Amino acid sequence: MSNVKKFLLPILVLFLITLNSFLFAANLESVGLFNKTSCFLTEDKGVRSFTCHGKQSGLKSPLALEKDIQISASIDHICAANKVQLKCSGVGLTLTENIAGIVKLDSSKNTVCYSTASEFKCLGTGILARAKLPITTKVVDFALGENHGCLIDRESKDKKTIHCFGNNKYSKADPPYNMAAPAQIIVGKNYSCALNKKSDYQNEVICWGKKSFNPPMLKQPLLIKGAKHFICAIDQVNFTDNKLICFGDNLPADIPDLNSANTLELGPYTGCSYDQKGKELICFGHNYQREIDISFEILTATPVKSLKVEDDLPNMDKEISRSSGGHHRCALFQSGRVKCWGKNYNGQLGYGDYNNRGDSSGEMGSSLKFLNLGPEKVISLALGGDHSCALFESGRVKCWGQNSYGQLGYGDTSQRGRAAGSMGASLKFIDLGGEKAISIFGGYEFNCALLSSGRSKCWGKNSYGQLGYGDTNNRGDRKSEMGANLKYLDLGPEKIKSMSLGAYYSCATFRSMRVKCWGKNGYGQLGYGDRMNRGGRPGEMGVKLLYIDLGPEKVISLKTGWYHACAIFESLRVKCWGANQKGELGLGDTSHRGGSPGQMGKSLKFSDLGVQKIRSLAIGGNQSCALFVTGRVKCWGSNQNGQLGLGDISNRGNTAGHMGKNLAFLELGPEKATSLSLGYYFSCATFESGRVKCWGTGSYGKLGYGNTVTKGDQAGEMGKTLKFIDLGPDKLISAF
């Protein structure tokens, strides 16, 4: 029998299901390989199953299979943990312990270890349970071997350190000191390895212990896994391919040649990896007791995400790719598919017509179809005024909708998404020169992409130099302007961390957590103490474009609206500058900031939002909203259509006494909000359940309630009265 066992292809399922009563289809959540045994945690239509094959095929989880459960087994025991409890059963280890918020669980001989946000602990009677554990602050990752373990500890905001414990044969418990930013740790019998952040956009694998485990040349390792005597990595070798590469001693036979590896797990002598292109799970290695003779079809597998070292900052909800459209909204689902609703005059919804969606009954829910964007999964969206863009798993981009200035990036000015047959395979990927995009950003009639090199390219309308190329020529409306001919922005030597685009201006946040802005500057929205445009003439970009003076604190997130911008600082407070006609800066007046000398730096005050800390921002036309770490929301600025959600049409922030404790939290119901997005005179929030609520003007059906009724402008329309939008049964990631 071959040592490589492939999961059955979907095309064979209907035929084989009559032959094998054990055959079923499922989504793979996790794999466990150990002691001539393989175990799989799967989900099918909301029902989870835990099945094992081989020597210990009868293993059962000691806890109910709730969402986010973690299971780990060893030679003689099995452990499971949920948010409140850890339970182990077996000959070698039987225990129950109350825990608070499991982060990771791992087992070794008669030992189980776990980490929470504030604790690392090992239990049992094994060698590692008796070893002296390091004192930790916050464990980022850990791994256990037969007689030693290692962990990554965040000792302070700017420092992460690897600590090892247990047996130190071959110096396997002596990590080197040349790792500035370790992200992942693995251990085997006589070695340890870490995935380390070598630079802003480059990872490396560093090993210590047995010398034969020096890794080969890897281009961009995304994930590493360790077995007893060998290591495997998922390596991003080019624009689209993630290759499975294994190295070490005593490699298992028949390691598959995979170029689209997605998940990876290793046992002492076996491994399993999901082939994303072939849609099958491939297990390889020894098959002593039929542990890799598996007979069920895997529909999807939990994807491997590029392991980037987490920022030494609070989680800002990954707002770097979140841009909001004008009169339309789109939702990204966990399946990687997209639905859009609202205004559609230019085909910005992407349904091959110009009919609005959401303004009449029967248009939402399951009646609102998924966009045909091709077979690849979407990972992020960016919406402009009347156009939309999607970033795919491969790092490529597609755009549709209005294209008067080349903002779709196809080298012409023809709309996409309005005519039948213009989507799907007919909608091509934009040519950005072959480099992978890691984030996309939508502005009014233009877009920018942040690429894997840490540089950026922009295209579309450029009347005020908002593209940043030292002229006012549009880009993307001619074939000769895209691909390699579309130049990188010159913003100086520092790499970009994130961008945000407004109405005819752009801002970039850098790794140093400083900010530069360019483009239109009529209200001082660029923040340079004058009203001069920048980026439209030679000599205005690069090192000559200075960092904005925002005071001594570092910026951790920045958002732009039509003509104003707001930033979150390390203290989780907010400053805003630019236009202030409606009080959108939150300073208790209607005076603009940033357009005159002496208005920036220490002179620019923090907006008074009360004592709570801010998680993320969303900026609209003349409106600003803050999502707090508590999951509650405050909004200020223009409110003529109830877009502030306060049950009236009075502006906030334009008069003394409006802000601070006097600015009320929005009544959005008992659930916590997880993200916000604002458009033209309306607002939306995504909640913990993955559902969405919108309020403000209902024109074009952009609120998604099957009518054009305005909500939030009268008492009694918010809170529990404001219903969740019906987007169908699929699980939602967020609305954009």
pLDDT at 319: 37
Domain count, the chain: 3
Q: Do 388 and 468 have their domain in common?
A: yes
Question: Do 403 and 299 reside in the same domain of the chain?
Answer: no
Query: In this structure, how many other beta carbons lie within 10 angstroms of the beta carbon of residue 391?
Result: 22
Contact 88, 108 (CB under 8 A): no
Q: For a pLDDT cut of 70, what percent of the chain falls above it?
A: 93
Identify whether 69 is part of a domain: no
Q: Is 704 helix (H, G, I), strand (E, B) or coil?
A: coil
CA–CA distance, 408 with 390 (Å, rounded to integer): 11
Contact between 182 and 153 under an 8 Å Cβ cutoff? The reply is: no
Mean pLDDT, residues 149-178: 90
Q: Same domain, yes or no, for 594 and 683?
A: yes
Distance between alpha carbon 76 and the CA centroid of its chain, in Å?
Answer: 38
**230 and 328: one domain?**
no
Shared domain check, 249 and 207: no
Q: Kindly tell me if the per-residue pLDDT of 6 is higher than 60.
A: no
Within a domain: residue 93? no
Give 56's contacts (C-beta < 8 A, 6+ positions apart): 35, 36, 37, 73
- Is residue 542 within 8 Å of residue 535, measured between CB atoms? no
Pairing of strands 297-301, 25-34: parallel
Instruction: Kindly report, residue by residue over 355-399, the tens digit of the pLDDT.
Output: 999 999 999 999 999 999 999 999 999 999 899 999 999 999 999
241 with 167, same domain: the answer is no
Do 297 and 185 lie in one domain? The reply is: no
CA angle at 153 for the pair 71 and 105, rounded to the nearest 5°: 5
Q: How far is CA 419 from CA 108, 345, 406, 722, in A?
A: 59, 11, 18, 35
**58 domain residue, yes or no:** no
Q: Are both 350 and 256 inside the same structural domain?
A: no
How many angstroms separate the CA atoms of 644 and 651, rounded? 8
Nearest to 438 by CA among 278, 620, 222, 616: 222
Give yes or no for a contact between 293 and 53, defined as CB atoms under 8 angstroms apart: yes
CA gyration radius, the chain: 27
> CA-CA distance, 185 to 226, in Å (whole number)?
9
Is 472 inside a domain boundary?
yes
The CATH number of residue 351's host domain is 2.130.10.30
Domain that holds residue 199: 137-214
Q: Is residue 259 part of a domain?
A: yes
The model's confidence at residue 547, banded by pLDDT at 50, 70 and 90, is very high
Residue 11 has pLDDT above 60, yes or no: no
Is the pLDDT at 3 greater than 80? The verdict is no
Distances in Å between the Cα of 684 and the Cα atoms of 384, 578, 645, 696, 734 are: 16, 24, 10, 9, 10
Answer yes or no: is 644 within a domain: yes
Per-residue b/e over 273-285, b at no fewer than 16 CB within 10 Å? bbbbeebbbbbbb
Q: Give the Cα separation of 733 and 464 in Å (integer).
A: 35
Q: What does each C-alpha distance from 457 to 62, 301, 356, 441, 523 come to in angstroms?
A: 52, 33, 31, 11, 25
pLDDT tens, position by position, 406-446: 999 999 999 999 999 999 999 999 999 989 999 999 999 99
* pLDDT of 307: 40
- SS3 assignment, position 248: strand
Instruction: Look at residues 241, 275, 307 and tell me which one is the last residue of a structural domain.
Output: 307
pLDDT higher than threshold 60 for residue 10: no
Per-residue pLDDT band for 308 (boundaries 50, 70, 90) equals: very low
> In whole angstroms, what is the distance from residue 190 CA to residue 347 CA?
59
Among 285, 307, 329, give the residue marking a domain's end. Answer: 307
Contact 137, 155 (CB under 8 A): yes
Higher pLDDT, 730 or 177: 730
Q: Which residue has the higher pLDDT, 92 or 556?
A: 556
Residues 274-303: what's their mean pLDDT?
82
Same domain, 261 and 231: yes
Q: How many angstroms separate the CA atoms of 113 and 165, rounded?
A: 13
SS3 of residue 439 by DSSP? strand
Q: What is the 3-state secondary structure of 458-489?
A: EEECCCCCCCCCCCCCCECCCHHHCHHHCCCC
**Burial class of residue 672, CB neighbours in 10 A (0-12, 13-18, 19+):** middle
The DSSP call for residue 405 is: T
Provide the 3-class DSSP secondary structure of residue 424. Answer: helix
Residue 23 identity (one-letter amino acid): L
Place of tokens 């293993």: 59
Beginning with the edge strand found earlier in the chain, give each strand of the sheet holding 159-166 in spatial order: 139-144, 148-156, 159-166
Rounded mean pLDDT of 82-108?
91
Domain membership flag for residue 81: no
- CB count, 10 Å around CB of 386? 23
- Pair (277, 391) in one structural domain: no
Which strands make up the sheet holding 261-266, listed edge to edge? 5-6, 280-285, 270-275, 261-266
pLDDT in tens, 468-521: 999 999 999 999 999 999 999 999 999 999 999 999 999 999 989 999 999 999
Instruction: Identify whether 91 is part of a domain.
Output: no
Rounded CA gap, 370 and 657, in Å? 46
Task: Check whether residue 521 and residue 586 sit in a common domain.
Answer: yes
Instruction: Using pLDDT thresholds of 50, 70 and 90, give the confidence band for residue 353.
Output: very high
DSSP state, residue 133: P
Same domain, 636 and 595: yes
Residue where a domain terminates, one of 153, 182, 214? 214
